[in-house]
Each structure stands twice: as C-alpha cells, then as structure tokens.
Structure 1
Amino acid sequence: MKKTILLAAMLVLSGPVMAQTTNALAPAEGIVIRTEGEVRVRPDIAILQAGIVSEGKTAAEALAQNTPALARLVEAVKAAGIAPADLMTSQVSLMPRMTQPSMSPGPKPPRAATIDGYEARTGLTVTVRDLAKAGPLIDALAKAGANEMSGISFGLADESRAKDAARLKAAEAARARAELHATALGVKVGELVSIVEAEAEVPGRAAGDVRAFRMAAGAAPISVEPGEITVTSSLRTVWRIAP
C-alpha cells in the first residue's frame, strides 16, 4: 500500500514537469520560414601564415636553428610596416623524427622505430590591412627564409555594415516566402510571432595553398588578387495563420 501511495504521488508531481517539457519541444504552430541573406563585398584585410621548419640531430640543435630563422621573419614583417598587434605566433612544436628499421628475414620480431632527429616548427600569423602590401610581404618572407607557407585568406576588419545588409535581405525574403507558401496552400499570413537569427560562418575566403610558392630569390614577385568575399545572415521566423 505504501509503495502504491508513493508511486501515485510521484506521478502527480511529475505531471507538470512532463507537460512543460513536451510544450518546450513541441513544433511551433504556424508558418515556419528559414531564409538567408547574402552580400558580396571586397575584402580589406589579408591573413598570411608563414613559418620555419628546421631539423637537427637533437632537440636542442633543431631549436637552435629555428629561433634565429624565426627572428628574421619577424624582422621582415616589421620592415614591411606591419603593426605589432597584427603579428602573432600561431604555432610552436618540437617533434621527434622516427625511422622504422627494415624487416629482417626469419622469425625474429620487428625492431621498434628509433629517433634519428628532431623537427622544430614555428608559425606566424600576419594580418595585412593594406592589401597592396600582401604580395611584397610574401616575397619578403620567402627571402627571409620562410620555408612553409600554409595559405592566405581574406576578410573584413569590420563586417557590421555588410552583415546588416545581409540581415535586411534575409528579413525581406522571410515575409515574401511566407506569403508564397500561404497563397499556394489557400491560407493567409497572420502576425509575426518569432524571430531567431542563426549566425553564419565568419566571412573569409581562402586563396589557395601557397606552400613553396617561391623559394628561389630570383623568382617573379607573387601577385595577390583578393576578389570578393560573401557575408551571409540566416533567419528563422514563425508566422501565425490568419483565421
């Protein structure tokens, strides 16, 4: 009897909680529309990633070669007029270089891999706010000894104006699409009851891999073409169906 009373009490108490959970997960009633606004703009910043990879028999030897080489890259960036705030160390690693012994004939178990050296890797991320400097800076980094270039991307220093333009397009499309669906289904669009903005990806556009693009001092200067980037805004709206 006590167990029966306790079970009944638990069911009474859990009723409101279950109802709230069900309501929270219930689909919105009305016309649910998802739209996306998009604008294309010219970028005003470039992001370069360059670095130094050095090798040595010991970890200390690899680092001893890497440190002065990285200092030369930093000097090249500063000489190009890049502000200190736009220069950041983005990668530091020291890894052993392993060698797998060749398989020996017979039933002997394979020998374990051995360390035959170390690889030190340091990377820099540089924000270039004058796009005309991007190509010459890549050349300068190569001349200063950069032996790894992981790419270049473009973006906006301030995306608020482009983002607002994309939001406006998404909002305008929401009402038009709601009317389209309502007309096709023989109903009328009522009041707007919900607006949810879903953030899209940060604007940016990679311009390919420039690794080993120019390792010889006599190579032709690289040309950087920023093109345009796309800024988007996503919107979810819910409209009542008018009686």
Structure 2
Amino acid sequence: MTMKKTILLAAMMALSSQAHAQTASPLAPAEGIVIRTEGEIRVRPDIAVIQAGVVSEGKTAAEALGQNTPALAKLVEAVKAAGIAPADLMTSQVSLTPRMTQPPVSPGPKPPRAAAIDGYEARTGLTVTVRDLAKAGPLIDALVKAGANEMSGISFGLADESKAKDAARLKAAEAARARAALHAGALGVKVGELVSIVEAEAETPGRAAGDMRTFRMAAGAAPISVEPGEITITSSLRTVWRIEK
C-alpha cells in the first residue's frame, strides 16, 4: 500500500470515528431523559388596558370623518381629565369604510345590479393603560358619557412581570428535576447530570374581563364594576439529563 493510500485510509477512519462519537453524544434525545415542564404563578394584576372608540356614519366620507374627529377629541379629553399620563394613551384604530347597499333582485333574465355605496362609516379607537385599577371603572363610565359608542374590552397585566416570571421559571425547573427522577426510578436507572436547558418563551396573555368581542355602549348605562381577579404567568422548559445505570 502506498503512503498516499495509507494517509487517505487513516483520514477516512478518523472521520468515521468522529461521526460515531457525535451520534453517541449524550445530548442526543435517544440517550438521555428529555423533560418538558411548565411553571405557573398566579398574581394580582397592577395595570388595566381599556380599548374604546367612536363609530360615526355619514352620506359622504367627509361627513363621516367630520363627525368622528371631534367625537374622538372628547374621549381624549375625558382620559386626560382622569389623570392618565400621555404615554399611556394611544390611538389604536383609524378606519373609513363604505357602507354598501345591495339593490333588489330584478325579475326576469336581467343580470343583477352591482351593490351601491349608501354612505360611509368612520371608526377610531383609543388604547388606554390604567395604572391605578381603582380608576378603571370610573374611566369607562367617563368614556361612555363623553361619547364612546364602541368598546373592544378590558384586559389586565403587570407593569413589570420579571419577578413573577422568575418565580414561574423556578417552578418549571423544580418540576423538571422531579419528573426526571420519577421516570428514571420507574425504569430502574439513575438521573445523571443536566446537559441541556432550553426555555420556550411564550407571551403571557393578559386576563380579559367580559366579552372581548366589539359591542356598542349605551350612554346612561349603570356604572361599570371592574374586578381584576388574578392573571397567570407561565414559563416552559425543555431539559435533557444523562442516564446513569
């Protein structure tokens, strides 16, 4: 065998050994205990997010917008009068759509006539963050009295969820260790060292109060009672543990 062939054969054997070592790595799910856990923490929220707006109609686009713009300004005034900071007030929706009317069906073989524009609908909305939950109910009442005729709902959350998130992470980690030990004990093996941790972050939705579908508000309705309840903060982990026999 020539020197060149000997070197080539040695290189191929080295690559084969390296590939085998990678396949046999303890990180491979087939050779470890793979655990997925989730930790949950329930806490009282400290902020509320209110979405309210104004819907106006007119024969022309200009007429619909002409009614909507001053109506929205009254909502903004009501929010500011409630002591809400400018940074917590945001315009979240602006739309102008034609209102279509379908003509009656003509008798006979005549083709149907196309729908015609019968007017326009202007819709604007505000998103308000309330940091004093005691103000949430009175603010909704104030918005209705100021002319809000549409509300998309109210949700609750935390201004800073880092501490609650860390507590949920701790629960997920404790559950991962306990579950790995449970599986190992049932199968007659021992849990070795932890070789992999992956945190699967998922956005924690705020707790919604009431029907989140759009509904029209009636002026003069009974005062709104807002109960924040509790929200759930979650953390998910994927861990891989060595198996010791």
Report TM bin, short chain.
0.7 to 0.9
Q: Distance in 2 between matches of 1:61 and 1:79?
A: 28
Structure 2 counterparts to residues 114-125 of structure 1, below 5 A: 114-125=116-127
Deviation of residue 212 (structure 1)? 5.0
**1:107-161 deviations in whole A, cap 9, x for unaligned?**
0000000001000000000000000000000000000000000100000000000
- CA RMSD for the aligned pairs? 2.2
Aligned twin of 2:218: 215
- From 175, 178, 181, give the equivalent of 1:176: 178
Aligned twin of 1:158: 160
Aligned twin of 2:192: 190
- 2:82 matched to 1:80? yes
- 2:236 matched to 1:224? no
Q: Distance in 2 between matches of 1:235 and 1:177?
A: 12
CA contact (8 A) 1:47 1:125 kept: yes
Partner SS, residue 31 of structure 2:
coil
Change (3 A) 1:186 1:166: same
Deviation of residue 201 (structure 1)? 2.4
- 2:110 matched to 1:108? yes
Aligned twin of 1:240: 242
**1:140-184 deviations in whole A, cap 9, x for unaligned?**
000000000010000000000000000000000100000000011
Aligned twin of 2:93: 91
**1:72-102 deviations in whole A, cap 9, x for unaligned?**
0000000000000000000000000001111
CA contact (8 A) 2:99 2:117 kept: yes
Partner SS, residue 182 of structure 1:
helix
Deviation of residue 209 (structure 1)? 2.4
Sequence identity, in percent? 87
Q: Distance in 2 between matches of 1:160 and 1:101?
A: 58
Partner SS, residue 203 of structure 2:
coil
- From 70, 73, 77, give the equivalent of 1:71: 73
Deviation of residue 216 (structure 1)? 2.7
Q: TM-score, normalised by structure 1?
A: 0.87
Q: Distance in 2 between matches of 1:153 and 1:28?
A: 43
- 2:144 matched to 1:142? yes
